[in-house]
Structure 1
Amino acid sequence: MFKFEGRTIGRYQIRERLGQGGMGAVFSAIPEGQDREVAIKFLFGPFTADPEFLTRMRHEARVIASLEHPRIVRLLDYWEEPEIGPCLVMELAQGEDLRCLLDREAPLAIPLALSLGAQVAEALSHAHQRGVIHRDIKPENLMVDDFGQVVVTDFGIARAAGGSRVTRTGFMPGTPDYMAPEQLGPGQVEPATDLYSLGLVIFEMLTGQTPFRSEYVAEVIHRQVYQAPVPPSMLRPEIPPEIDRVILSCLAKSADTRPPSAQLLAQELSRLARLTLAPPATPAPLTLTPPATPAPLTLTPPATPA
């Protein structure tokens, strides 16, 4: 593989590898003449030489650059490097991806899982209001810091709703474990698609597993499309019915019956996080007042007749 560490690519000095997935690798880097670190994602694979794919990526780079929200990692620069392919420069997010946190600590505390889900929904609300659908919400694309704050990364395969429909034949962006039924078969990708994926992530945060897991990809796809999920409380009994209701609404097979918007979902998850975080009210101690002691009975002798 092409060696990146220690090289200068574009105007960036490449430092260390931060992670790698099926579509590319992410490195820390220093821009020329600056001392702040950034993250660079290099996309690689046969598809990066496909003119249709590059057209889609240029469009997506313009879309991503328009998103400015504290819960979304900003795109700072984009270009196509000869012999490498597309290069996306982003803010360097602090912390670790949610996958690392889940591998170490799943299932998460209920208030934390709901709070993280609410923050992701806030980011999606901002994107959806600007016509952007993420299409690949999964733990690997969510960075969590030491203070329980999350940012959404990798809008690189996002597509503006109603925008370019350029696609590469045979290329299916996303991960089946976190994909909505409409992404896996006939159907229109829409904002509710992201809410389904987020519901899957919250389910995993609460229970330690995805609802449709299987060692066979074809089986995962079949279950996503046809099988109803079990309530999270079946796997973790202390989960209240209200949380079951919200998660199952996100996982509705029909997009029309999922939450109406990411904004409303964020509000509901925040409310439930506060409720589960608050300690149960301690009843006031019962004070028993002893019965009043009757006054002593005084008998007055009858008057003596004169």
Structure 2
Amino acid sequence: MLPCSLSTKENIKSELFDWRSDDQNDVFVYDNGLHYNNGRRGQSEQFKGRVFHFPDELIHGNASIIIRNTKVADSGVYTCYFPLREKIEIFYIKLAVVAPQPDINIIDATDDGVLLQCEVRGAALKPRVEWQDRDGNKLPAKDPQVSEKGDRYHITLQTTVTKTLSCSCVVTQEETNRRTHAEIYVAIIEPDPKVTVEQDSDVVLPCSLSTKENNEFKLFVWRKVAQKDEGLKEVFLYDSGSHYNNGQDGQSEEFKGRVSHFQDELKHGNASIIIRDTKISDSGNYTCYFPRLQPPQTFYIDLVVGEYFY
């Protein structure tokens, strides 16, 4: 909706008001009951069938319009113009229509690699969605899943990462050649991302930034990846000194009182945690995630807890 109202709130049903874009395209004209949706001609092709006013609000001086199914090309400065009033009035409003932003999520982490999913929701035009590495090379991906709701598109695209790299989900609106992207850094612990421990023992899950930069004022989150019969588990969260052991809420019940970090090691980039009194049910894939780094970084590790090991 682009707002335009007379401060006097007087009735404008019998008046003329004209909406134009900054390139002087005719967006909407209302003239004493006649307008672009009931017989008046001259509307720019770009806006035909997409622009409407509020007839019941005219008596209150409201000349606002609504543009449906906005496109990136609709971006610009618009004027609402009352040319026939004794004191000519012009209102200005800037509209910014952005391309849909992709959303990246980690779906699974196994010995075969890390499954990443990119979602694009509510695209007005069907975009091209690709996974790319930092050099712009296209990464192998599954066939995209595309659904339509009205005139909007929802696209899901998955890829499996098998080595440490920075990759992006790139969304391209080919009609306008506009691009948006989201980036993620995947760090796979090599060569063996698996930690094995006997139950009832304590275990350290390692996670360290390669730059060894200070973590004391950063945010990192440890999660247990969703298994077949359970959901995602919140294991440990540290945020600039606040964490699950000193007031932060949200830790999964099964990890309460059993997980701690290494406070003195934070200044060396060490975000490792220790899980005490391990249980068989603790077995699974874990992620150590730094969401505020540019790009965000995620580390993966597989924990196996057994009754005994020789």
Fold match by TM threshold 0.5: no
Shorter-chain TM-score tier? under 0.3
Larger relative strand fraction = 2
TM-score under structure 1 normalisation? 0.25
So what's the TM-score if we normalise by structure 2? 0.24
- Bigger relative CO (Cα 8 Å, ≥ 6 apart): 1
